[in-house]
A = this chain, B = another copy of it.
Amino acid sequence: MKKTWVDEIKFDSNGLVPAIIQDFKTGQVLMVAYMNREAVLKTLSTKKAHFYSRSRQKLWLKGESSGHVQKVKSISFDCDGDAILVKAQQIGGACHTGYRTCFYRVLDSKKKWKETGKKLFDPDKVYKK
């Protein structure tokens, strides 16, 4: 079979590669999750970020419950081919806690993790049981 762009990605022994999602406008790093080959292909074909959940062991569309999809603007990969960078338009917030970014805790000068930013939404309302 002819090699394509996806064959150049080096998936690890579990078939996964870490993917960074970055806001295409502000440059804010929103989250890191893992993609398998299928998730990478789906991300390109649908232009919406898909991942592979290691805990649930299945493919998922980011935003499938919350509606907070990530509309893909570009896909890059790194020199070693073992990490992916997706620039995207984030609808709503990336983080299931309600923050825009999953990286909402910064180490302060007292060596404590400090929450920054404001919650955009109430997770209990968005992720209905």
Contacts and interface: CB of A to CB of B under 8 A. Distances in A.
A77 B106 CA distance: 7
A42 interface: no
Interface residues of A, number: 35
Given A4-B111, A22-B27, 5 more contacts: A8-B113, A18-B83, A20-B20, A32-B78, A79-B95
Contacts of A28: 27
A20 B29 contact: yes
Nearest to A76: B103
7 contacts: A5-B111, A18-B18, A20-B29, A76-B103, A78-B102, A78-B105, A85-B103
